[in-house]
Amino acid sequence: MVREALLDPTGRTGGGADARRAPRLVPLRGARLGLLNSTKPNSAVVLEQVAALLEQEEGVASVTMFSKRSFAVPAEEKVLSDIAETCDYAIAGVGD
């Protein structure tokens, strides 16, 4: 059975919610980073700035930008599988 819970990103919980943090992954140094551009205005700009910081400060080895067809629909399965196959980490951008 899959249990879904809504988690507050600020870290505050409403009592009985499962608020355990996800386990930390391997360091970013040498990692392949995928960026998923939602295609909303400024999404790519924000993602490019985040990527530049991660390259400079954390030693990310490579960055690949992927894009959704439209911000109004989920990412296509092909895009998601390409990210999963070629990247160690992924960041999705929203924009506006």
Check the CA dihedral 37-41-44-46 and report its sign. Answer: negative
pLDDT at residue 34 greater than cutoff 60: yes
Which of the four pLDDT bands, split at 50, 70 and 90, describes residue 94? Answer: confident
Query: Residue 79 belongs to what H/E stretch?
Result: helix 77-86
pLDDT at residue 95 greater than cutoff 80: no
How much is the pLDDT for 1? 47
| CB atoms inside a 10 Å sphere around CB 20 | 7
How much is the pLDDT for 23? 72
Q: pTM of the prediction?
A: 0.71
Q: What is the pLDDT of residues 47-63, one digit of tens each?
A: 999 999 999 999 999 99
Q: Where are the domains of the chain?
A: 40-92
